[in-house]
Chain A
Amino acid sequence: MKFSTFTKAITGGIALSALLTGAALAEPALIYDLGGKFDKSFNEAAYNGAEAWKKQTGGNYQDLELQNDAQREQALRRFASQGANPIVMMSFMWESVLAPLAAEFPDTNFVVIDAVVDAPNVQSIRFDEHTGSFLVGALAAMKSDSGTYGFIGGMDVPLIHRFYCGYAQGVKAVKADAKLIENYTGTTPAAWNDPVTAGELAKAAIDSGAEVIFAAAGGSGLGVLQTMADAGKYSIGVDSNQNYLHPGSVLTSMEKRVDNAVIEAFTNAGDDATFKPGKINLGLQGDFVGYALDEYNKDLLTADMISQVEALKAKILSGEIQVHDYETDSSCPL
């Protein structure tokens, strides 16, 4: 029974890919999530990675911006059946859609970022958001003496709580009595693309005394960065390096090198010889997460702050500091 459905799926898949388009091109494909391709954050990091890969190799890739949640299966199936390989997907929302489809297309390699799907042809990439956020939290506490520190998340999901929890621990590592303000833009994927609401939340946090706000909110974060720049206060960007958006106001960015992950996937995941299925954790080691330092924020971070945060980073790497991971027990002890 199991075997027959399996073979049916294979033959069906082959027949289907022959039917569609005809051109069995093994081009990689990239599916952005609902925040949109040009969110200057999570999705744009993936786009930048794909473009960098294109420039390096001269290869071609296909990409797609999702319009709504119900579209996921059709989009993924479309790419898989026309022979795209590998297919890279962004966000935790793919878990339930990818698992059955991966079984249906056993010859296609899938790479999913921010989710874990257990299948022989799926590579699940997770980033250690908590340690990277810890470092920017420490920088926030060093920069401001207000005693109150803000956090504005996008969608209210465990992944974003993980950012918050790391950030809060970083703040407290520097200022043990600090007060934290934790807010989320919404409970649906629309919260990734709602800069207005996020900006209002930032104003409320300023009123409560926050001078630095960490925005882990995808496209919505732009509203936070803008609000903080207008108020002459500091913000921390996320995923991409967002320092250039408001020089002098964006203190740093919690960089998550999604771009490198996409380049890596496009380069190696298409070939079974180099494809590594299973869960892969990318963290401080190799600078896959961390704080961004460039010409736009070099005046904001003093040499003393940098040496302190580097010391913290070394301690996390050596295991001297254990940053609590929200996802291990769904709680954030502070």
Chain B
Amino acid sequence: MSALRPLPRWADLALLPVLNLLLAVLVSGLVVLMIGQNPLTAIWAIITGAFGNGYNIGYTLYYATNFVFTGLAVALAAHGGLFNIGGNGQAYVAGLGVILVALALQDTHWLIVAPAALVAAAVFGGAWAFIPGYLQAKRGSHVVITTIMFNFIAAALMIYMLNRVLKPAGVSGPESAMIAETGRMPKIGSFFAPFNYTPVNLSIFIALLALVGVYFLIWRTKFGYALRAMGQNPTAARYAGISNSKMIIITMTLSGALAGMVAFNEVLGVQNRLVLDFVADAGFVGIAVALMGRNHPIGIGLAALLFGALYQGGNELQYVISGLDRTVVVIIQALVILFTGAMEGLFRPGLQRTFMLFSPEQKAEAVSRETVGKES
């Protein structure tokens, strides 16, 4: 078999994910068909449910905000060769920091509350990821194991805090007191009418800043260089004088701080109180987002938007077609992850052949590529 040429960059970054997405949608359509519903109606319901009007777009952006944060958290760690699957727990514990700060400062002004809560979210989320990072760096406990275990510890801790500490008198459910009106971060709907009544709030700008910030951190700083060096080859990084253990701890802490921003969005921006399980598995969706976005901020932004649309459209689905609900969207998400992650190679060889058909390789070029490949 003749050697295949690598795909052009645009095909690798855009065409392949789109093909994978289409395949996922196609297979999901078959599932919908098997349930006995019209797949085209379902897909149309998801699309209009996500982008049909300002109200829907507002919700889509709100979900996407969460996924940007968790996607970046996963991607940052992934560049250092670390797989942080504890975004859920880190975001959950960060909620504790947000609510404590917000309730303490609620009578001042939201302009004071918001920055303080932002820092608290980063500190609490970061601290929750620092421990697995430390254990990985100093004790060799694998972060995949420790971060997922820390999700459970976080859930238990938060149930305790909500039931025994934060629950105000006269409330039955496990939830904290409401933040006073003066301390609530305004929603975008309050000054941009189409987003009226939607939860999208100022944290979306924090998300955009985070996308840019992470790009600069990874590709434009010394730290980012060291991070990528460690991710590519820890031994070489060590040889080059980079302290891997220090890098692991810092990276995990930063990753946790990014995941913690979900709490900033949810607790201060949307719910205005701490409720049980407010993360709603955004941490795990972040893994898919990072995977699909190829760990690059632009890709993560787009993938977060896609998953936000799937979430919101999926919510709408159950109101439009009875008999279908969010579980269908869970299937679509699972298929997207399957085709973009696990079976990413499915289209690659075929696509590579197609590209070679359309632009035959020059012999000299191929020879030089092959010889370079042999030597390395």
CB-CB nearest in chain A for B318: A64
- In the complex, whether B187 has a CB less than 8 A from a CB of chain A is no
A159 cross-chain contacts in B, Cβ below 8 A: 172
CB distance from A4 to the nearest CB of B (A): 13
Stretch at the interface among A12-20, A168-176, A260-268: A12-20
Q: Bound state CA distance, A259 and B245, in angstroms? A: 61
With A81-B197, A188-B159, A189-B276 as given contacts, are A67 and B326 in contact (CB-CB < 8 Å)? yes
With A157-B173, A158-B172 as given contacts, are A74 and B315 in contact (CB-CB < 8 Å)? yes
CB-CB nearest in chain B for A160: B172
A70 cross-chain contacts in B, Cβ below 8 A: 266, 271, 275, 277-278, 280
Q: Mark A89-102, 1 if CB is under 8 A from B, else 0.
A: 00011011000000
With A16-B55, A92-B172 as given contacts, are A188 and B196 in contact (CB-CB < 8 Å)? no
Q: Mark B283-311, 1 if CB is under 8 A from A, else 0.
A: 00000000000000000000000000000
- In the complex, whether A315 has a CB less than 8 A from a CB of chain B is no
CB distance from A123 to the nearest CB of B (A): 19
Q: Bound state CA distance, A115 and B322, in angstroms? A: 28
Asked if B173 contacts A93 (CB within 8 A), the reply is yes
Asked if B319 contacts A187 (CB within 8 A), the reply is no
Asked if A93 contacts B197 (CB within 8 A), the reply is no
- In the complex, whether A78 has a CB less than 8 A from a CB of chain B is yes
Q: Bound state CA distance, A78 and B312, in angstroms? A: 12
- In the complex, whether A57 has a CB less than 8 A from a CB of chain B is no
A144 cross-chain contacts in B, Cβ below 8 A: none
Asked if B276 contacts A69 (CB within 8 A), the reply is yes
Q: Mark A1-26, 1 if CB is under 8 A from B, else 0.
A: 00000000000100010011000000
B273 cross-chain contacts in A, Cβ below 8 A: 96
Q: Considering the complex, which residues of chain A in the window 154-172 have a beta carbon less than 8 Å from any beta carbon of chain B? A: 156-159
CB distance from B64 to the nearest CB of A (A): 15
CB-CB nearest in chain A for B59: A74
- In the complex, whether A318 has a CB less than 8 A from a CB of chain B is no
A104 cross-chain contacts in B, Cβ below 8 A: 197
Q: Considering the complex, which residues of chain A in the window 23-62 have a beta carbon less than 8 Å from any beta carbon of chain B? A: 62
B199 cross-chain contacts in A, Cβ below 8 A: 73-74
Q: Mark A115-146, 1 if CB is under 8 A from B, else 0.
A: 10000000000000000000000000000000
With A16-B55, A70-B266, A81-B197 as given contacts, are A96 and B277 in contact (CB-CB < 8 Å)? no
- In the complex, whether A82 has a CB less than 8 A from a CB of chain B is yes
CB distance from B169 to the nearest CB of A (A): 9
Asked if B318 contacts A19 (CB within 8 A), the reply is no
Q: Considering the complex, which residues of chain B in the window 263-285 have a beta carbon less than 8 Å from any beta carbon of chain A? A: 266, 271, 273, 275-278, 280
- In the complex, whether B108 has a CB less than 8 A from a CB of chain A is no
Asked if B172 contacts A20 (CB within 8 A), the reply is no
Asked if A69 contacts B172 (CB within 8 A), the reply is no
Q: Bound state CA distance, A187 and B271, in angstroms? A: 21
Asked if A188 contacts B319 (CB within 8 A), the reply is no
Asked if B59 contacts A157 (CB within 8 A), the reply is no
Q: Bound state CA distance, A93 and B162, in angstroms? A: 14
- In the complex, whether A77 has a CB less than 8 A from a CB of chain B is yes
Residues of A in contact, count (CB < 8 Å): 31
Q: Mark B50-61, 1 if CB is under 8 A from A, else 0.
A: 000111000100
Asked if A12 contacts B196 (CB within 8 A), the reply is yes
CB distance from B60 to the nearest CB of A (A): 12
With A70-B271, A74-B315, A188-B276 as given contacts, are A96 and B172 in contact (CB-CB < 8 Å)? no
Asked if B172 contacts A16 (CB within 8 A), the reply is no
- In the complex, whether B146 has a CB less than 8 A from a CB of chain A is no
B53 cross-chain contacts in A, Cβ below 8 A: 19-20
CB distance from B108 to the nearest CB of A (A): 20
- In the complex, whether B175 has a CB less than 8 A from a CB of chain A is yes
Q: Bound state CA distance, A2 and B83, in angstroms? A: 50
- In the complex, whether B37 has a CB less than 8 A from a CB of chain A is no
- In the complex, whether B171 has a CB less than 8 A from a CB of chain A is yes
Find B174's partner among A20, A95, A158, A187 (CB 8 Å cutoff): A187
B315 cross-chain contacts in A, Cβ below 8 A: 71, 74, 78
CB distance from A310 to the nearest CB of B (A): 33
- In the complex, whether B178 has a CB less than 8 A from a CB of chain A is yes
- In the complex, whether A68 has a CB less than 8 A from a CB of chain B is yes
- In the complex, whether B352 has a CB less than 8 A from a CB of chain A is no
CB-CB nearest in chain A for B325: A65
Q: Bound state CA distance, A207 and B199, in angstroms? A: 51
Find B175's partner among A62, A71, A96 (CB 8 Å cutoff): A96
A74 cross-chain contacts in B, Cβ below 8 A: 59, 199, 315
Asked if B280 contacts A68 (CB within 8 A), the reply is yes
CB-CB nearest in chain B for A15: B196
A189 cross-chain contacts in B, Cβ below 8 A: 173, 276
B318 cross-chain contacts in A, Cβ below 8 A: 64
Asked if B174 contacts A188 (CB within 8 A), the reply is yes
CB-CB nearest in chain A for B315: A74
Q: Bound state CA distance, A93 and B199, in angstroms? A: 20
Asked if B319 contacts A82 (CB within 8 A), the reply is yes
CB-CB nearest in chain A for B330: A67
Closest 9 CB pairs of A and B: A92-B172, A157-B172, A93-B173, A70-B278, A187-B163, A69-B275, A69-B276, A12-B196, A19-B53
10 A-B pairs with CB atoms under 8 Å apart are: A16-B55, A16-B197, A20-B55, A64-B319, A67-B326, A69-B173, A70-B278, A73-B199, A81-B197, A95-B173
Please name 20 further chain A to chain B contacts, defined as beta carbons within 8 Å, in addition to the given A73-B199, A78-B315, sorted by A numbering: A16-B55, A19-B55, A62-B322, A67-B326, A69-B278, A70-B266, A70-B277, A71-B315, A74-B59, A74-B199, A81-B197, A92-B172, A92-B173, A93-B173, A95-B171, A96-B173, A96-B273, A115-B172, A188-B277, A189-B173
Listed in ascending order, the chain B residues whose CB lies under 8 Å from chain A are 53-55, 59, 159, 163, 171-175, 178, 196-197, 199, 266, 271, 273, 275-278, 280, 315-316, 318-319, 322, 325-326
